[in-house]
């Protein structure tokens, strides 16, 4: 079994996340991709991150039509800071022995990998996939080198369509009364409007 992991704040989840996850799933023939909304992420400094319950609901609404996408509330339920290394350990206990995990990262996140909590332990426990557009200048080897010998071959690059959408941009558009249609799935837009999220950030 090969399982992709797409972690994120998903505040809100958008088409960039979905296209990236599906492109990696297809390229690596993953059996499923698990979307894991984070609790309060240690590296995010926004004062008000939308409640985990709303972010989880939007993640479910965004992924429910893809039979190979699943959502896990593991980081939201766990108390204390959410570190990827703890998540992987918990998933390894949950899935059958021999399951391979592929942690999917956008290029920005891949470049920061070495700064993650217990990064050296983490890179021994799962594969990392840097989702990048062909010809982008992310230097996989430079990231791997930061890990010395254990890093070799653990970070793989998969070419994915470049989609210039960020959650920050979507929140900004909502504040300014601009359209977010097709930047997020219709289900997510309907939920945002029903719950009146992001209007007064
Ligand atoms: P924010 O603007 O609030 O930082 P974001 O759009 O970057 O939000 P995150 O939840 O921070 O979304 O990202 C989760 C993961 O998805 C990260 O690995 C990030 O690199 C990746 N990602 C985010 N947006 C895209 C995109 N448009 N294309 C590919 N990967 C993306
Ligand atoms: Mg981000």
What CATH number is attached to the domain comprising 97? 3.40.50.620
The model's confidence at residue 43, banded by pLDDT at 50, 70 and 90, is low
**C-beta neighbour count of 183 within 10 angstroms:** 21
Indicate whether residue 53 lines ligand 1 (CB < 6 A).
no
Q: Match 């797409």 to its residue by tokens.
A: 6
Region 140-151: mean pLDDT is 78
CA distance 187 to 184: 8
Does residue 38 sit within a domain? yes
* Distance of CA 111 from the midpoint of ligand 2 (Å): 12
pLDDT tens-digit map of 51-72: 999 999 999 999 999 999 999 9
Helix (H, G, I), strand (E, B) or coil at 16: helix
Indicate whether residue 63 lines ligand 1 (CB < 6 A).
no
CB contact at 8 A, 125 and 88: yes
**The pLDDT of residue 83 is above 70:** yes
DSSP readout, 105-162? Answer: EEHHHHHTGGGSTTHHHHHHHSEEEEEE-TT----HHHHHHTTGGGGTTTEEEEE---
Does residue 67 sit within a domain? yes
- In this structure, the strands spanning 2-8 and 69-71 are unpaired
- Number of domains observed in the structure of the chain: 1
Does residue 191 sit within a domain? no
Q: Which atom of ligand 1 is nearest to the CA of 14?
A: 6
Does residue 111 sit within a domain? yes
**The pLDDT of residue 47 is above 70:** no
**C-beta neighbour count of 31 within 10 angstroms:** 13
Does residue 192 sit within a domain? no
Does residue 129 sit within a domain? yes
Does residue 79 sit within a domain? yes
CB contact at 8 A, 76 and 37: yes
Of 149, 145, 179, 146, residue with least CA distance to 165: 179
Structure tokens belonging to residue 51: 């409640």
Q: Is the dihedral of CA 73, 38, 32, 150 positive or negative?
A: negative
Does residue 172 sit within a domain? no
CA distance 126 to 4: 10
Task: Mark residue 162 as left, alpha or beta (left: phi above 0; alpha: psi -120 to 50; beta: remaining).
Answer: beta
Residue 197: predicted pLDDT? 96
Residues forming a β-bridge with 156: 129
Ligand showing the shortest atom-to-Cα distance for residue 14: 1
- Which range marks the domain in which residue 34 is found? 2-162
With the most atoms of ligand 1 within 8 angstroms of its CB, the residue from 76, 166, 170 to mutate is: 166
pLDDT tens-digit map of 114-137: 898 898 899 999 999 999 877 666
């Amino acid at each position: 079994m090969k399982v992709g992991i797409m972690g994120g704040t998903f505040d809100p989840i958008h088409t960039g996340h979905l296209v990236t996850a599906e492109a990696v799933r297809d390229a690596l023939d993953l059996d499923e991709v698990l979307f894991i909304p984070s609790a309060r992420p240690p590296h995010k400094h926004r004062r008000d991150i939308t409640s985990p319950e709303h972010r989880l609901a939007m993640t479910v609404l965004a992924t429910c039509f893809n039979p190979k996408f699943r959502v896990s509330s593991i980081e939201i339920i766990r108390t204390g800071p959410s570190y990827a290394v703890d998540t992987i350990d918990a998933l390894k206990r949950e899935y059958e022995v021999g399951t391979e995990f592929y942690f999917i990262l956008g290029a920005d996140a891949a470049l920061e990998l070495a700064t993650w909590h217990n990064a050296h332990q983490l890179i021994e426990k799962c594969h990392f996939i840097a989702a990048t557009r062909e010809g982008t200048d992310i230097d996989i080897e430079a990231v791997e080198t930061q890990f010395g010998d254990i890093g070799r071959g653990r970070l793989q690059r998969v070419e994915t369509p470049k989609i210039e959408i960020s959650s920050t941009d979507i929140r900004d558009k909502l504040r300014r009364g601009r359209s977010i249609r097709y930047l997020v799935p219709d289900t997510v837009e309907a939920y945002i409007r029903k719950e009146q999220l992001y209007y007064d950030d």
